[in-house]
Amino acid sequence: MAAARTWSRRGLVALLLLAMIFPSLLSPSDATSTYLRRRQVLKRLNKPPLATIQSPDGDIIDCVHISRQPAFDHPLLKDHTIQMQPSSQPSGLYGEATRPFTQTWNQNGEKCPNNTIPIRRTNEQDVMRATSLTTFGKKTHDRSPHPHSHGWCHKRPLPYATGDANYYGTKVTINVWQPTIATSGDFSLSQLWISAGSYDNKDLNTIEIGWQVYPAMYGDDKTRLFIYWTRDAYNETGCYNLACSGFIQTNPQFVIGGSISPVSTYGDTQYEYDYLVWKDPAGGNWWLQVQGNNVGYWPSSIFTLLQTGVADSVEWGGEVDSPQITTPMGSGHFPEEGFGKATYSRAIQVVDSSNNLKPPNGVGLIAPLPSCYNVMTGSSSTTSWGTYIYYGGPGCPQNSQIEVM
């Protein structure tokens, strides 16, 4: 505690010195206000732990009582009763990955006490890397003309389900990579999307889960498990991981935002994991399952369209935010290179109104920048791959002239 107070004083002194050196940029009162607001954010996010674990990757993992997690700061969840297990899970699952899901923090057998969940501690540097305190832990998106783009100009080939009007969830198996990020503000990820509404109407509801490399968020280039949600097209609500109230975690074995290790190697061992999100038929909450383990859920009450309704779109694939289009997606290799070399999402299924998993009726493809990142799809009825996609690419040479469609 003494060390924490020392660092707090040092942080305040540093900000005051900055204000003295650059008075036109930051007055002493502004410096004090910014510092205090940053401390308030950290206090809100970092709940008092019952135990603490030092992860080999440098993260500090706080074991927080399940009833004290950030979700319950949400005004709609003040009297919420935790649903420890879903009432049922979809039938018809196939093509499951066989390896256990492995994260760095507990590879030496560490675990949190009973009735607690592990939460990656947010430090002051994490908050300072954000463009502002209000945008910490949030996505920012620009408008895009394509109806399946959700309104952002981030670069991504976009496979999406076709042939159904309603979706009650989706499942996918994705191999994990560690792409090299070109600049610290870029990110690269692979994920699934469940959504309803539209960006234009500012009523877009999304649920997102996958892996990402995002130095500006985490302060390193490690591959990490992430989640995201919004109910207003990324305007005011929602966030990554547990950076705001919303998602309720029930499983003590997963650190959301924690690093994944090992990752796939080009031309060698492939590490892949299953992700399943579905709407619980009994309570309407949206449950998350990773590698066959129930991790937690998004309460239906935090949504609008996904609260009483279901998704009108499900998608899978990769996304890159790289203004210069120089950060690779996935393995950094094009889909034509195939297994062991390209990123894939396989055994793709959607959940129907009877809580059954089935292959999508069809898969539509969009590749706005095929010379930078591309996508291809296929289907196999004789293997565990079922409906699958390969996607990714190295990006494009810096300053290349490319028209974004």
Radius of gyration over every alpha carbon of the chain, rounded to an integer in angstroms: 21
pLDDT tens digits for 164-217?
889 999 999 999 999 999 998 999 999 999 999 999 999 999 999 999 999 999
pLDDT of residue 400: 46
**How far is it, in rounded angstroms, from Cα 333 to Cα 316?**
18
Confirm whether 359 is domain-assigned. yes
Question: What's the pLDDT tens digit per position in 313-354?
Answer: 999 999 999 988 999 999 999 999 999 999 999 999 999 999
Instruction: Determine the structural domain holding residue 239 and report its residue range.
Output: 34-392
Any domain includes 400: no
229-288 per-position pLDDT tens digit: 999 999 999 999 999 999 999 999 999 999 999 999 999 999 999 999 999 999 999 999
At residue 293, the pLDDT reads 97
Only one residue has tokens 């196999």, namely 380
Amino acid at 219: G
pLDDT-based confidence at residue 162 (cuts at 50, 70, 90): confident
pLDDT band at residue 302 using 50, 70 and 90 as cut-offs? very high
Residue 145 lies in a domain: yes
Alpha helices per DSSP H over 179-323: 215-218, 305-308
Section 65-90 average pLDDT: 96
Number of domains in the chain: 1
- Cα-Cα-Cα-Cα dihedral sign, residues 365, 209, 218, 140: positive
Backbone torsion region of residue 159, taken as left when φ is above 0, otherwise alpha when ψ lies between -120 and 50, otherwise beta = beta
Query: Is the residue at 2 inside a domain?
Result: no
pLDDT at residue 4 above 50?
no
The residues near 185 (Cβ < 8 Å, ≥ 6 apart) are 215, 216, 321, 323
Confidence of residue 24 (pLDDT cuts 50, 70, 90): very low
What residues are labeled active site? 208, 319
Closest C-alpha to 332, from 264, 402, 262: 264
Element (H, E) at 162: strand 158-162
Quote the pLDDT of residue 11: 53
Q: Is the pLDDT of residue 104 over 90?
A: yes
**pLDDT tens sequence across 122-154:** 999 999 998 888 888 898 754 343 334 433 345
Under DSSP, the state recorded for 381 is S
The pLDDT of residue 135: 86
**CA gap 118, 129 in Å, rounded:** 23
Residues contacting 130, CB < 8 A, separation 6+: 136, 137, 216
167 part of a folded domain = yes
Give me the mean pLDDT over the 378-385 stretch: 90
Helix/strand/coil for 290: strand
C-beta of residue 181 within 8 angstroms of C-beta of residue 125:
no
In a domain, residue 227? The reply is: yes
With 0-12 / 13-18 / 19 or more C-beta atoms within 10 angstroms meaning exposed / middle / buried, residue 108 is exposed
pLDDT for 3 equals 46
Q: What is residue 155's predicted lDDT score, i.e. its pLDDT?
A: 65
Contact 88, 263 (CB under 8 A): no
Model confidence over 332-342: pLDDT tens digits?
Answer: 999 999 999 99
- Residue 53 within any structural domain of the chain: yes
Task: Tell me how far CA of residue 87 lies from CA of 19, 70, 90, 119, 191, in angstroms.
Answer: 56, 24, 10, 26, 25
Q: Answer whether residue 18 is part of any domain.
A: no
Q: How far apart are CA 229 and CA 303, in angstroms?
A: 9
Average model confidence (pLDDT) across the chain: 88
Q: How confident is the model at residue 28 (pLDDT cuts 50, 70, 90)?
A: low
